[in-house]
């Protein structure tokens, strides 16, 4: 019969094994997040893309993509479905720098060539978060599938 000390030692080893995560954070991404910033059409830039969002056509600069380690269903503070995402560790500093440089501007999340979220940046983003809106479960599932396929080709 094992002694209490041996049981505690075995339990401690099991706890140690359970708490050491080997989750790959920078291996191949499971998908890609594409972001674009709204630009003034009168700027004369030739690299703008016109995309519709909620009935309005806006012009966006080139998209930038970031590798995802997590993407899936989440819930917002009101309990509504939303898209949860987390970027690869190696992409987080670039994403944070990009969003820090664009505080006060409108940033679009583009999925499958469509703007699914447009928000004014009020602070730099750390590399994980939620895309909230008037989405149902089917919308979220479609976004997850599109993000796992990769960015749009414009």
pLDDT band at residue 117 using 50, 70 and 90 as cut-offs: confident
- Asked, for residue 69, whether it belongs to a domain, the answer is yes
CATH of the domain at 53: 3.30.1360.200
- In 3D, which of 112, 118, 107, 119 has the Cα closest to residue 143? 112
The tally of domains found in the chain comes to: 1
pLDDT at 79: 93
Identify the H or E element spanning 7: helix 4-19
* pLDDT of 148 strictly over 80: yes
pLDDT band at residue 26 using 50, 70 and 90 as cut-offs: low
Which of 43-47, 59-63, 117-121 has the least mean pLDDT? 43-47
Q: Which domain holds residue 57?
A: 24-149
- Asked, for residue 132, whether it belongs to a domain, the answer is yes
- Asked, for residue 9, whether it belongs to a domain, the answer is no
CB 125 within 8 A of CB 37: no
**pTM for this structure?**
0.74
- Asked, for residue 134, whether it belongs to a domain, the answer is yes
- Specify the DSSP class assigned to residue 102: T
- Asked, for residue 61, whether it belongs to a domain, the answer is yes
- Asked, for residue 12, whether it belongs to a domain, the answer is no
* pLDDT of 56 strictly over 50: yes
- Asked, for residue 104, whether it belongs to a domain, the answer is yes
- Asked, for residue 93, whether it belongs to a domain, the answer is yes
Q: Which residues contact 69 (CB under 8 A, 6 or more apart)?
A: 24, 25, 26, 29, 30, 86, 87, 88, 89
pLDDT band at residue 116 using 50, 70 and 90 as cut-offs: confident
- In 3D, which of 138, 134, 117, 143 has the Cα closest to residue 80? 134
């Amino acid at each position: 019969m094992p002694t209490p000390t041996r049981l505690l030692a075995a339990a401690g080893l099991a706890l140690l094994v359970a708490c050491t995560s080997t989750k790959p954070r920078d291996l191949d991404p499971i998908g890609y997040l594409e972001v674009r910033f709204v630009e003034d059409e009168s700027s004369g830039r030739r690299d703008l893309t016109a995309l519709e969002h909620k009935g309005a056509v806006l012009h966006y600069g080139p998209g930038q993509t970031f590798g995802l380690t997590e993407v899936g269903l989440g819930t917002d503070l009101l309990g509504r479905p939303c898209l949860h995402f987390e970027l690869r560790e190696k992409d987080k500093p670039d994403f944070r720098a990009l969003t820090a440089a664009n505080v006060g501007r409108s940033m679009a999340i583009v999925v499958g060539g469509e703007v699914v979220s447009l928000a004014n940046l009020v602070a730099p983003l750390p590399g994980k978060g939620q895309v909230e809106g008037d989405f149902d479960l089917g919308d979220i599932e479609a976004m997850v599938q599109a993000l796992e396929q990769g960015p749009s080709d414009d």
